[in-house]
Chains A and B, each alone.
Chain A
Amino acid sequence: MSCAQRNFGDVVLDLRNISLSFGGVKALSNVSFDVREHEVRAIIGPNGAGKSSMLNVINGVYHPLEGEIIFRGERRREMDTHQAAAQGIARTFQNIALFKGMSVIDNLLAGRNLKVKSSFLAQLLYWGPALREELEHRRKVEEIIDFLEIQHVRKSAVGQLPYGLQKRVELGRALAMEPSLLLLDEPMAGMNVEEKQDMCRYILDVNDQFGTTLVLIEHDMGVVMDISDRVVVLDYGKKIGDGTPADVRNNQAVIDAYLGVKH
């Protein structure tokens, strides 16, 4: 699983001095870190540390009070969700956000939304380029189904699937966008050991085969230490650690945040 030497490209996403507050609550204060091309970057921290807020800032759901985001050389104060998606940022959610009544295929096809080029009318007529495009989308979706090994539930309604499979489908929908940067919010929450192992493998395969850069939030320390290249640690909205898993593990501030200190 672990490659001897992993080479990373340039910084693709640079977050500088991000601060975010809701009323009087400071969710993030002055957090800076960067993400390099092709790496697996983990964000960890105790509950309420601001991890999900950080992801929401990256894909434009929240707009930071201060700071700037540099994504692929473009500097801006805030992202816009559409813009983020169009630039190849996809994400999954902590609580599954799929269309429960729709089949797995339809959910994945929904992820292809931004890739559709033919007009509404052309699609309605389902003719010529629209037909060819539809076939192309379906082929791509089938490749993802094959990749995630969910052939047996291809036509099942998502709401009827077990939780672990739903999580996989959600990853599939994000992949359908063919993202260059994928944000995963607790992809392994609520899974048993076997499902976690499978998910780890899929995440590493995504990173390896599609060359996707990954930012993930995860609580399972074993998983984080195993699969991530660099880790950011947040606590009460502040960054208290940043570095390789080994660095972070030995960081006193991090140990204190997790285990608590005597006051």
Chain B
Amino acid sequence: MSEESIGGALDTFPRLLLEHARVRPNAPAMREKDLGIWQTYSWSEVAAHVGALACGLAAQGFKRGMNLAIVGDNRPRLYWAFMAAQSLGGVPVPLYQDAVAQEMAFVLDDAEIAFAVVEDQEQVDKLLEVLPQLPRLKHLYYEDPRGLRHYSQASLMSFDKLLQVGRAFELHNPGFFEAAVAAGRPEDVSVILYTSGTTGKPKGVCQTHAAFIAAGRGCCASDKLGPGDEVLSYLPMAWVGDHLFSYAQALVAGFTINCPESGDTVMIDMREIGPTYYFAPPRVFENLLTQLMIRMEDAAALKRRMFHCFMALARRCGAEILARKAHVSLSDRLLYAIGDVLVFGPLRNVLGMSRVRVAYTAGAAIGPDLFRFYRSIGINLKQFYGSTETCAYVCLQPDGQVKFDTVGLPAPGVDVRIADNGEVLVKSPAVLKEYYKRPDATAEVIDGQGYFHTGDAGFFDADGHLRIIDRARDVGKLANGALYAPNYIENKLKFFTHIKEAVAFGHRRDEVCAFINIDLGAVGDWAERRGLAYSGYTDLAARDEVYDLVQKCVEQVNFELAADPIVCDSQVHRFLVLHKELDPDDDELTRTRKVRRSFVEEKYALLIDALYSAKVSQYIETLVKFEDGRSGKIGADVRIRDARTFLHAPANKAA
């Protein structure tokens, strides 16, 4: 990458944008599917639009140091809003688009938002609902005018109108945009990302241009990404993963961002685009595999047999072939090549991953079997480790050094240390500048030597790879003093396609018990095949047959746990299948679908007590929130089952 350009060093995102517009004006920068057809914006077009948008915002009174809220699905025009705000020396603050109005109100108030760019009527309605609580919020711009014709609020303006205002402003103030970009400094805050808040209220993480550019450069260099690569941007823009993988890296490396038509069409759009670089949290890979398995069950007998036959081969040597290991026999290599033509290639095609060179997953631990599945069919799936506070850039798995149970080596420029209590500490250019307006919280996580305390517990293995076992504060002890890492057990349970979510309990108790959420898609399909009629989740979850199914999974996990002396005592003794799905709308999960452990513990205390008594069932009524904001009650008699446990036997490891 050349460091010389019109604006001096390429050390802020707007300067990177202008550089790409200069070097590769006609290369595709962004694509979006509109009315069934992919529309492309070249780098020069994007730069021109961003210029107009920045001028529009400036004309409306947006100034250096102000924050711009951005709410909506991944759309090119919303990404322009990021760039426009940064060009003016302002700070974009993306919000989770599926958050309810009250959750948004907190962030909007905390970030002192006066200007907001939102996607559509849904978001406008939410913001208007909380407008009375937000005296600062004066300007709302909407991208999609549908349904907004009759809205007469003075604060509303369409995105197109804003661009017009901007172009008029540009005519009268030539050079304004360029001057604003030139005034930017790398140590300016480039974005405030609010943490999902597994504990307490969300905190705004302030990251500088320098931090995200360093993270982006590091990733791009280690995976050799550049112009010509394609990424599908479909994960929430408010999430650090999307900001790094789509926004920061695309601007650093100059590759193309592709925005799907809608949340429901991601799979179809992915097949059409064929991204070369793909990123998804483990649950997406899990869902894909679940769907694939369901469809495989429906396939013709011959295809099914071929699938199972070659998958057995892939399990044996696929991952090794991908890692270019030497010890695979020639006959296996030949068979794998045939399998690649008949099964693996078509599978990758169905998944939309035919062209994927590098795929990443992070955000939660991925089941080893799930991980192995993707690698064994030839998809270069790797893990990395990071958090919002570290620009999602701490450890990466380099090609050829992929292990199933680690998150890889410390990334270039990152210093990782393990504290005495097992907590992972990080020092790098990508560590947060501060929590917005929260010096107390900042002081809590960054120590005197500049190390950021991640809150994760882990250790380095013999090869120097970092292995994360759990959140440091979740790791506990059983009553007998044995280590208890709930995530470890839950992840093992969640790997079964029939189990969607699991919550384990055991800290300072004699034994481990668990809540299970079944996967309605997979178990529903399973039930259909057996002619089991059911009316909905609650009904299906209470079935004896379903309990039998879950029991088998739990006992399999117990069998595996028994193999490892450290976690042997963590076998699940009793479990229940919850009568409702854990839901972010009910505050049981975060927006990134992590379990809010303490909240769940409090809410379902009645059921936990029942698990640790001799009861065989417990009646419970739960308040639920529907999508439209109304609430109702679900009541059910939840049954509790005992699961078989095993004695410690090292030989189990083979199973």
**Taking beta carbons and an 8 Å cutoff, which residues of A are in contact with B?**
3, 138-139, 142-143, 145-147, 149, 151-152, 154, 194, 197, 205, 208-209
User: How far is A66 from B168 in the complex, measured between Cα atoms in Å?
Assistant: 64
B627 within 8 A of A: yes
Min CB distance B345 to A, Å, is 22
A152 and B149: CB pair below 8 A?
Answer: no
- When C-beta atoms are compared, the residue in chain A nearest to B36 turns out to be A142
- Say which residue of A143, A152, A197, A208 sits within 8 Å of B265 (CB atoms): A152
Q: Report A-chain residues with C-beta under 8 Å of the C-beta of B261.
A: 151
A-B contact pairs, 17 of them (CB 8 A): A3-B150, A138-B36, A139-B35, A142-B36, A142-B37, A145-B35, A151-B36, A151-B261, A151-B262, A152-B264, A152-B268, A154-B36, A197-B628, A208-B147, A208-B149, A209-B147, A209-B149
Within 8 A of A (CB), among B592-632: 627-628
Min CB distance A107 to B, Å, is 15
Min CB distance B632 to A, Å, is 11
Q: Report B-chain residues with C-beta under 8 Å of the C-beta of A145.
A: 35-36
B36 and A205: CB pair below 8 A?
Answer: no
User: How far is A152 from B268 in the complex, measured between Cα atoms in Å?
Assistant: 8
18 further contact pairs, Cβ within 8 A, besides A151-B262, A209-B146: A3-B150, A138-B36, A142-B36, A142-B37, A143-B35, A145-B35, A146-B35, A147-B146, A151-B36, A152-B262, A152-B264, A152-B265, A152-B268, A154-B36, A205-B146, A205-B147, A208-B149, A209-B147
Q: Report B-chain residues with C-beta under 8 Å of the C-beta of A205.
A: 146-147
- When C-beta atoms are compared, the residue in chain A nearest to B267 turns out to be A152
Min CB distance A194 to B, Å, is 7
Interface residues of B, count at CB 8 A: 14
Within 8 A of A (CB), among B249-288: 261-262, 264-265, 268
Q: Report A-chain residues with C-beta under 8 Å of the C-beta of B150.
A: 3, 208
B264 and A151: CB pair below 8 A?
Answer: yes
- When C-beta atoms are compared, the residue in chain B nearest to A141 turns out to be B36
Q: Report A-chain residues with C-beta under 8 Å of the C-beta of B147.
A: 205, 208-209
Min CB distance A23 to B, Å, is 43
- When C-beta atoms are compared, the residue in chain B nearest to A3 turns out to be B150
Min CB distance A233 to B, Å, is 29
Q: Report A-chain residues with C-beta under 8 Å of the C-beta of B264.
A: 151-152
Min CB distance B569 to A, Å, is 45
A151 and B265: CB pair below 8 A?
Answer: yes
User: How far is A208 from B147 in the complex, measured between Cα atoms in Å?
Assistant: 8
Within 8 A of A (CB), among B26-57: 35-37
User: How far is A149 from B147 in the complex, measured between Cα atoms in Å?
Assistant: 14
- When C-beta atoms are compared, the residue in chain A nearest to B262 turns out to be A151
User: How far is A205 from B147 in the complex, measured between Cα atoms in Å?
Assistant: 7
User: How far is A213 from B531 in the complex, measured between Cα atoms in Å?
Assistant: 46
Q: Report A-chain residues with C-beta under 8 Å of the C-beta of B265.
A: 151-152
Q: Report A-chain residues with C-beta under 8 Å of the C-beta of B268.
A: 152
Q: Report B-chain residues with C-beta under 8 Å of the C-beta of A154.
A: 36
- Say which residue of A143, A194, A209 sits within 8 Å of B627 (CB atoms): A194
User: How far is A147 from B146 in the complex, measured between Cα atoms in Å?
Assistant: 9
- When C-beta atoms are compared, the residue in chain A nearest to B266 turns out to be A152
Q: Report B-chain residues with C-beta under 8 Å of the C-beta of A147.
A: 146
Q: Report A-chain residues with C-beta under 8 Å of the C-beta of B149.
A: 208-209
- When C-beta atoms are compared, the residue in chain A nearest to B263 turns out to be A152
User: How far is A151 from B268 in the complex, measured between Cα atoms in Å?
Assistant: 10
User: How far is A145 from B198 in the complex, measured between Cα atoms in Å?
Assistant: 38
User: How far is A54 from B150 in the complex, measured between Cα atoms in Å?
Assistant: 33
Min CB distance B236 to A, Å, is 19
User: How far is A204 from B214 in the complex, measured between Cα atoms in Å?
Assistant: 50
Min CB distance A151 to B, Å, is 5
With contacts A151-B262, A209-B149 known, is A142 near B627, CB below 8 A?
no
A142 and B628: CB pair below 8 A?
Answer: no
Min CB distance A136 to B, Å, is 12
Q: Report B-chain residues with C-beta under 8 Å of the C-beta of A3.
A: 150
Min CB distance A205 to B, Å, is 6
Min CB distance B630 to A, Å, is 10
- When C-beta atoms are compared, the residue in chain B nearest to A138 turns out to be B36
Q: Report B-chain residues with C-beta under 8 Å of the C-beta of A151.
A: 36, 261-262, 264-265
Q: Which of B36, B146, B147, B149 has the most CB of A within 10 A?
A: B36
Min CB distance A51 to B, Å, is 29
User: How far is A214 from B538 in the complex, measured between Cα atoms in Å?
Assistant: 39
Q: Report B-chain residues with C-beta under 8 Å of the C-beta of A152.
A: 262, 264-265, 268
Within 8 A of A (CB), among B309-345: none
- When C-beta atoms are compared, the residue in chain B nearest to A194 turns out to be B627
User: How far is A51 from B627 in the complex, measured between Cα atoms in Å?
Assistant: 34
Q: Report A-chain residues with C-beta under 8 Å of the C-beta of B628.
A: 197
Q: Report A-chain residues with C-beta under 8 Å of the C-beta of B36.
A: 138, 142, 145, 151, 154
Interface string of B121-160 (1 = CB under 8 A from A): 0000000000000000000000000110110000000000
User: How far is A142 from B265 in the complex, measured between Cα atoms in Å?
Assistant: 14
With contacts A152-B268, A194-B627, A197-B628 known, is A142 near B35, CB below 8 A?
yes
User: How far is A209 from B147 in the complex, measured between Cα atoms in Å?
Assistant: 7
User: How far is A93 from B261 in the complex, measured between Cα atoms in Å?
Assistant: 30
User: How far is A146 from B149 in the complex, measured between Cα atoms in Å?
Assistant: 17
B35 and A149: CB pair below 8 A?
Answer: no
A149 and B262: CB pair below 8 A?
Answer: yes
Min CB distance B124 to A, Å, is 15
User: How far is A143 from B37 in the complex, measured between Cα atoms in Å?
Assistant: 11
User: How far is A98 from B147 in the complex, measured between Cα atoms in Å?
Assistant: 28
Q: Report B-chain residues with C-beta under 8 Å of the C-beta of A138.
A: 36
- When C-beta atoms are compared, the residue in chain B nearest to A140 turns out to be B35
Interface string of B151-174 (1 = CB under 8 A from A): 000000000000000000000000
Min CB distance A31 to B, Å, is 34
Q: Report B-chain residues with C-beta under 8 Å of the C-beta of A197.
A: 628
Q: Report B-chain residues with C-beta under 8 Å of the C-beta of A142.
A: 35-37
User: How far is A208 from B627 in the complex, measured between Cα atoms in Å?
Assistant: 24
Min CB distance B74 to A, Å, is 15
Min CB distance A110 to B, Å, is 17
Within 8 A of A (CB), among B360-387: none
Q: Which 5 A-B pairs have the closest CB atoms?
A: A152-B264, A142-B35, A142-B36, A152-B265, A151-B261
User: How far is A152 from B234 in the complex, measured between Cα atoms in Å?
Assistant: 15
Min CB distance A250 to B, Å, is 27
Min CB distance A196 to B, Å, is 12
- When C-beta atoms are compared, the residue in chain B nearest to A105 turns out to be B36
User: How far is A147 from B261 in the complex, measured between Cα atoms in Å?
Assistant: 13
Q: Report B-chain residues with C-beta under 8 Å of the C-beta of A143.
A: 35
- When C-beta atoms are compared, the residue in chain B nearest to A142 turns out to be B35
User: How far is A224 from B149 in the complex, measured between Cα atoms in Å?
Assistant: 24
Min CB distance A226 to B, Å, is 14
- When C-beta atoms are compared, the residue in chain B nearest to A139 turns out to be B35
Q: Which of A145, A147, A152, A197 has the most CB of B within 10 A?
A: A152
Q: Report A-chain residues with C-beta under 8 Å of the C-beta of B37.
A: 142
User: How far is A250 from B275 in the complex, measured between Cα atoms in Å?
Assistant: 61
User: How far is A152 from B262 in the complex, measured between Cα atoms in Å?
Assistant: 8
Min CB distance A174 to B, Å, is 19
- When C-beta atoms are compared, the residue in chain B nearest to A147 turns out to be B146
- When C-beta atoms are compared, the residue in chain B nearest to A204 turns out to be B147
Min CB distance B356 to A, Å, is 22
Min CB distance B272 to A, Å, is 11
- When C-beta atoms are compared, the residue in chain B nearest to A143 turns out to be B35
- When C-beta atoms are compared, the residue in chain A nearest to B627 turns out to be A194
User: How far is A154 from B35 in the complex, measured between Cα atoms in Å?
Assistant: 11
- When C-beta atoms are compared, the residue in chain B nearest to A144 turns out to be B35
User: How far is A194 from B628 in the complex, measured between Cα atoms in Å?
Assistant: 9
Within 8 A of A (CB), among B218-255: none
Min CB distance A190 to B, Å, is 16
User: How far is A197 from B147 in the complex, measured between Cα atoms in Å?
Assistant: 16
User: How far is A234 from B602 in the complex, measured between Cα atoms in Å?
Assistant: 55
Q: Which of B35, B146, B147, B261 has the most CB of A within 10 A?
A: B35
- When C-beta atoms are compared, the residue in chain B nearest to A149 turns out to be B262
Q: Report A-chain residues with C-beta under 8 Å of the C-beta of B627.
A: 194
Q: Report A-chain residues with C-beta under 8 Å of the C-beta of B262.
A: 149, 151-152
- When C-beta atoms are compared, the residue in chain B nearest to A152 turns out to be B264
Min CB distance B258 to A, Å, is 15
User: How far is A208 from B146 in the complex, measured between Cα atoms in Å?
Assistant: 11
